[in-house]
Structure 1
Amino acid sequence: MKLVKKVVHGISWRVAVFFRRLLARCYNTATQKILYPLSYRKYSREAVQKDKIVFLEIRMMELTDNFQRIYDALQREGKYRFTVCCIGSELASRGQQCKNSLAALKEIATARYVFINDSSSLISCIPLRPETKVIQTWHACGAFKRFGFSTAQKQFGGSYKQLMRFPLHKNFSLVTVSSPEVIWAYAEAFHMEDRKEDIVATGISRTDVFYDQAAIAAAYEKIHRLVPASRDKKVILYAPTYRGRVAKAYSPEEMDLEQMHEALGEEYVLVFKHHPFVKNRPVVPESLKDFAIDLTADMTIEELLMVSDVCISDYSSLVFEYSLFERPMLFFAYDLEEYYDWRGFYYDYAEMTPGPTCKTTEEMIDYIKNLDTRFDRQKVVDFKNKFMSACDGHATERILELL
C-alpha cells in the first residue's frame, strides 16, 4: 500500500509540474510573441520624442539605486522628460505584471532612451524602433556567477533553444560594465560576441556613492543608531547570495551563530544583509540579538559595505564593490561544488577570490582572529584593479557623456 501511494504521489507531482510548465509556455507565447509586439507596433505610430527617457524597473516597484544617481544627474541637466515604469516581476501578480508591461510599452514606444538594469523579456521581444536606444546599466559589478546565455545547459538556466525562443537579453544598444576585463563575459551573457564595441567600461553608477564622504559619514551614524555596540566594536557583514530559484529563494543557515558569538563577541558585532529575493529571512535567536543583528530592512547594501570592517559572502557580486575599500573579505562557500553544477562561474573560483574559501564556521573564526597576520591587502588591491578599474567615483558622468 505504501508503495502504491508513493507511485501515485510521484505521478501526481509530475503531472502538476507538466501542466505548470505548459501554462507558463502558453503565457509566454501569448504575451511575448503576440500581445507585446502587437501593442508596441500600435503605440509606435506616434513619433519618438527626442527628449523622453524611460527608466524601466523590472523586479521592483520603485526606482532602485543604480538608476537613482543617473536619474538625479539627468534631472539636474534639465533637458529631458522622464517616465519611470515598474513591472514588479518579483512583487506583482502575473495579471498585474501584464498590465504594467502594456503601460510600459506605451511609454517605451515613443522614448528616445530606455534605461534598464536587469534581464527583460519585455524589451527583448519587441521590434525596437531604430530611433530608440536601450542602455543596459547592469545591476551587478564584475563578472562572478554566470547569467544570461552563459547559463545555457546549466541547471539554473534553460537550454540555448529556450533562451533564443524567449530571449531576456536582446535589443541592447549599449551595455555599461565595471572594467574592460569583464567585457568578454557580458558579450557571452548577452549574446553580443559580434558587438563587443557596444559594451563599454564606464563604471557602475551606484558605486559613485562609495567616494562620497558625506554618504559614508551618514552610514556610520545610521549603524551607530541602529546597533549601539558598533560604536566600540568592529562590524562583520554577512551578505550571502540566495539559494534556489528566484520565486522560492532562501538564505543559507549553515553559519553557527553560537560559535561566532563565543569566539568573536568581545570584539565584533555580526550584521546580516539577506538578498532581496528572500521573502522569509532566517530568525536570529533571542539570546544572540546583542551580537547578531539582521539589518536587511534597515540599511542598504551600499551603507553596510561602507561601515563593515570584514565582509563574509559566498557567490555575490557585492565583493567587487567591497574591494573598493581594500578591507578583508572571506568566502563561506560550504556548497561550492553544488553551486558550480547549479550555475557556474566566469573565472576559476579559488584563483579569483581575494580571500580564503571557508567551508566551516571554525575556519572563518580562525581567519578573523588572525587577520593581522593572514590578511593580504595587496591581493584585494589587485582584484579591485582587475575588476573595478572604471569605478572611480565618476561612472555616472561617463554614462551621461555617452548620451
Structure 2
Amino acid sequence: MGDARAQAKTVLSKAKELVKELVKNITLGFVFPRVFAFAAKDPVDARKVVFLESKQEEIPDSFRVLFDRMEVDPRFDVLYISLGRHRVSYLRYLGNCVEALRQIATARCVFLNDASDVVSCVSMRPETKVVQLWHACGAFKKWGMSTADLEFGGSRDQILQHPFYGNLSLVTVSSPEVVWAYAEAMVLEDRLDIIQPLGVSRTDVFFDEGFLSGARQRVQAVVPQVGDRKVMLYAPTFRGRVSKAIGPDRLDVEAFRMAFEGEYVLLVKHHPFVKDRPAIPSESASFAFDISDKVTIEDALIVADVCISDYSSLVFEYSLFERPMVFFAYDKEEYDDWRGFYYDYEDLTPGPVFKSNQPMIEYLKNVDTLFDKKRVVEFRKRFMSACDGRATDRIIEEVL
C-alpha cells in the first residue's frame, strides 16, 4: 500500500512538472511575444524608463542609486515593476508579466538586475535599450550557462531553449577582468562588445561621505548593543536551490562569544533567499544579532571591521574598504561540485580560508598583525577597478 502511494505521488509530481513546462513553453513561445507585439504598435515614449525586478516587491539595492537619480531627472518618466516571482500566485505572476510587457513595449530603456526570460522571449524594438545591471560584483560562484550540466544548473539544451540574455543592449560589470565570465554565463561570447566595465551603480554609495558617516548610526538604531564595540560581520551565501535556500549553521557563535565578547559584536546577515535562518543561541543574545531583514548589506559592510564569508560576491564590495576578511569554507569541495567557481578558490580569496571554527578564531584574535592588506588591495584593483563612485554617471551617459 505504501509503495503504491509513493508511486502515485511520483507520477503526480512528474505530471505537474510536465504541465508547468508546457505552460512555460506556451507563454514564452506564444503568448508573451504576441502581447508585446500588439503593445508595440504604439510609438516608443522617449521619456519612459522601466526598472524590472523579478522577485522582490521593494526596489532592490542594485537599482536604488540609478533609480533615485533618474526619478528626479525631468527628462525621464521612471516606472518600477515587480513581477513577484515565487512571491505571488502563478496566475498573478503571469498577469504581472503581461502588464510588464505592455509597458516595456513602448519604453526607451529597460533596466534589469537578474535573468529574465520574460524580456528575452520577445523581439525588442531597435529604439529600446535593454540594460543588465546584474545584482553582484566580480565573478565568484558560477551561474547561467557556466553551470550547465552541474547539479545546480540545467542542461545546455534547457538553457538555450529559453535564453535569458539574448536581446540585451548592455551589460555593466565591475572590471575588465570579469568580462569573460559574464560572456560565458550569458552566452554572449560573440557579443563581447556589449559587456562594458562601467562599474556597478549601487557601489557609488561607498564613495558618498554622507552615506558612509550615517551607516553606524543606522545600524545602532537597530542594534543598540553595538555601542563603541568593533563589528564582526558574518555574511554567508545560501546553500541548495533558490526556491528552497538554506542558511549555513556551522559557525560556532558561542565559541565566538567566548573569544570576542566585550571587544566585538557579531552581526549575522544571511542571503535574502534564506527564509528559515539558523537561530542565534540564547547564551549569545548580547553578542550576536541576526540583521538579515533589518540592516542593508551596504550599511553592514560599511560598519564591519572584519568580514567572514564563504562564496558570496559581497566580498568584492567589501574589498573597497581594504579591511580584513576571512573565508569559512567548510564545504568547499561539495560546493565546487554542486555549483563551481570561476577562479581557483584558494588563489582568488584575498584572505585566509578555514574549514573549522577554532583556527579561524585564533587568526581573528591576532588579525591586526596577521592581516595582509596588500592581498586585498590587489584583489580590489583586479576585480573592482571600475567601481570608483562614478558608475551611475557612466551608465546614464552610455545608455541615455
Q: Structure 2 length as normaliser, TM-score?
A: 0.97
Cα RMSD (Å) of the superposition? 1.4
In structure 2, the partner of 1:118 is 114
Cα pair 1:208 1:394 within 8 Å, conserved: yes
Deviations 1:256-298 (A, max 9, x none): 1111111121321111111111111222122211011011121
- Corresponding residue number in structure 2 for 1:372: 368
Change (3 A) 1:324 1:259: same
Paired AA for residue 115 in structure 1? F
Aligned counterpart, 1:238? 234
Residue 146 in structure 1 maps to residue 164 in structure 2: no
Q: Equivalent residue of 2:72, what SS?
A: helix
Cα distance, 1:62 vs. partner? 2.2
In the other structure, the counterpart of 1:67 is 63
Structure 1 gap segments, 5+ residues each:
none
Aligned 8 A contact 1:148 1:169 in 2: no
Alpha-carbon distance in 2 for matches of 1:36, 1:199:
27
Q: Please list, as runs of the form range in 1=range in 2, the aligned pairs for 1:39-78 lying within 5 A after superposition.
A: 39-78=35-74
Shift of 1:354: 0.4
Whether the aligned pair in 1 keeps the contact of 2:52 and 2:82 (CA below 8 Å) is: yes
The 5-angstrom pairing of residues 103-182 of structure 1 reads 103-182=99-178
Contact 1:152-1:159 within 8 A present in 2 as well:
yes
SS in 1 for 2:28: helix
Count of residue pairs the alignment pairs up: 399
Q: For structure 1, which segment, 81-90 or 297-306, has the greater mean C-alpha deviation from structure 2 after superposition?
A: 81-90
* Residue 261 (1) aligns with residue 253 (2): no
1:300 to 293, 296, 302: 296
How many Å separate the matches in 1 of 2:78 and 2:396?
15
Displacement of 1:9 after TM fit?
Answer: 6.3
**How much has 1:120 moved relative to structure 2?**
0.5
Task: Please state how far the C-alpha of 1:8 moved relative to its aligned partner.
Answer: 4.7
Runs of 4+ in structure 1 deviating by more than 4 angstroms, as ranges, are 7-10
State the secondary structure of the residue aligned to 1:194: helix
- The answer to whether the 8 A contact 2:174-2:386 is kept is yes
Q: 2:383 aligns with which of 381, 387, 393?
A: 387
Q: Which amino acid aligns with 1:374?
A: L
CA contact (8 A) 1:123 1:170 kept: no
Partner of 2:78, secondary structure, is: strand
- 1:218 aligned to 211, 214, 220, which one? 214
- Which residue identity is paired with 2:18? L
In percent, how many aligned pairs have the same letter?
A: 49
Matched residue, 2:317: 321
The SS at the match of 2:190 is: coil
Q: Secondary structure at the match of 1:195?
A: helix
Instruction: Measure how far apart 1:13 and its partner are.
Output: 5.2
**Contact (CA 8 Å) 2:254, 2:283: kept in 1 or not?**
no
Closer, same or farther: CA 118–267 of 1 in aligned 2, 3 Å: same
Are 1:151 and 1:343, in contact at CA under 8 Å, matched by a contact in 2? yes
Equivalence for 2:24? 28
Residue type of the alignment partner of 1:274 = H
Deviates more, 1:358-367 or 1:97-106: 358-367
User: Structure 1 residues 255, 16: closer, same or farther in 2, change over 3 A?
Assistant: farther
Looking at structure 2, the residues matched to 61 and 23 of structure 1 have their Cα atoms a distance apart, in angstroms, of: 27
276-285 or 223-232, which deviates more: 223-232
* Distance in 1 (alpha carbons) for counterparts of 2:8 and 2:212: 55
The answer to whether the 8 Å contact 2:254/2:281 transfers is: no
Matches within 5 A, 1:90-105: 90-105=86-101
2:336 to 323, 340, 351: 340
Alignment-mate amino acid for residue 179 of structure 2? I
Q: CA-to-partner distance for each residue in 1:145-203, whole Å, 9 max, x for gaps?
A: 11111111111111110001122222110000000000011111111111111111110
- Structure 1 letter corresponding to 2:222: L
User: Could you tell me how far apart the structure 2 residues matched to 1:8 and 1:379 are?
Assistant: 59
The answer to whether 1:399 aligns with 2:399 is no
What CA deviation, in whole Å up to 9, does each residue of 1:288-332 have, x standing for no partner? 110110111211000000000111111110000000000111111
Aligned-pair distance for 1:16? 4.1
Number of the residue aligned with 1:357: 353
